[in-house]
Amino acid sequence: MRSLPIAIPLLALAAMLQAAVLTHVRFLGGGFDLVLVLVLAWNLVRRNIDGPLWALIGGLLADTLSGGPFGASTLGLTLLSLTISLTEGRFYQANMLVALLASLIGTIFYHLIYLSVLALAGRAVNLADALTLVTLPSTILNFLLMLPVYQAAKWLSWQIAPPPVK
C-alpha cells in the first residue's frame, strides 16, 4: 500500500493522457491503452501486493474520462489484475518477456471484457470488426508501450520497496 500516494496521481495523469492525447494517436484503427499497460506492468512487478488496487483506481479514472459506459474499464482492469494475482508469481519471475506476453494476452482479455460491457449496455458491437480493427492494432501498440512502462514500473517498485538483500 506504499504505492497509493504514487498510484493516484500517476494513474490520473495516465487517464488524462489517454483521454486527451493518445486518442489522437492511432495505428490501423487501434490506440494505446496507457492505463491498461501501467496496471499490467505494476501487477507483474509487485505481483499480489497492490496491483488490484491500481486496477480499481485506474479503471475508475479511465471510466470517468472516457465516453464508454461507466464501469467498463474498471471491470476489465480489475478482472485482469485479479487473474494475474491468482498466479501469485508461480509461473514467472517478472521479466521483460513475460511483460510483453502479458501485454498481448492482457490487451485481448481487457478488450473482450470491454466489448461485452458495451454489448450489455445496449451498444451495437460487431465483434469481428472490433477484434480485427481495434483490438489487434491496440495489441501491437500496447506491446511496444510495455517496453518502457515495464522498466519504469520496475524502477518505481525498487524506489518504494527495495528488494531484500540475500
In whole angstroms, give the CA distance from residue 26 to residue 40. 21
Residue ranges per domain, the chain? 4-160
Name residues whose C-beta falls within 8 Å of residue 104's C-beta, 6 or more positions apart in sequence: 139, 142, 143
Whether 161 has a pLDDT exceeding 60, the answer reads yes
Check: CB of residue 52 under 8 Å from CB of residue 78: yes
How many angstroms separate the Cα of 114 from the Cα of each of 34, 63, 131, 137? 15, 11, 11, 16
Model confidence band, residue 144 (pLDDT cutoffs 50, 70, 90): very high
pTM score, two decimals? 0.87
Per residue in 5-47, pLDDT (tens digit) is: 788 888 998 888 888 876 777 777 778 888 999 999 988 887 6
Name residues whose C-beta falls within 8 Å of residue 28's C-beta, 6 or more positions apart in sequence: 133, 136, 137
Per residue in 15-24, pLDDT (tens digit) is: 888 888 767 7
Whether 78 has a pLDDT exceeding 60, the answer reads yes
User: Nearest Cα to 14, choosing from 115, 162, 145, 161?
Assistant: 145
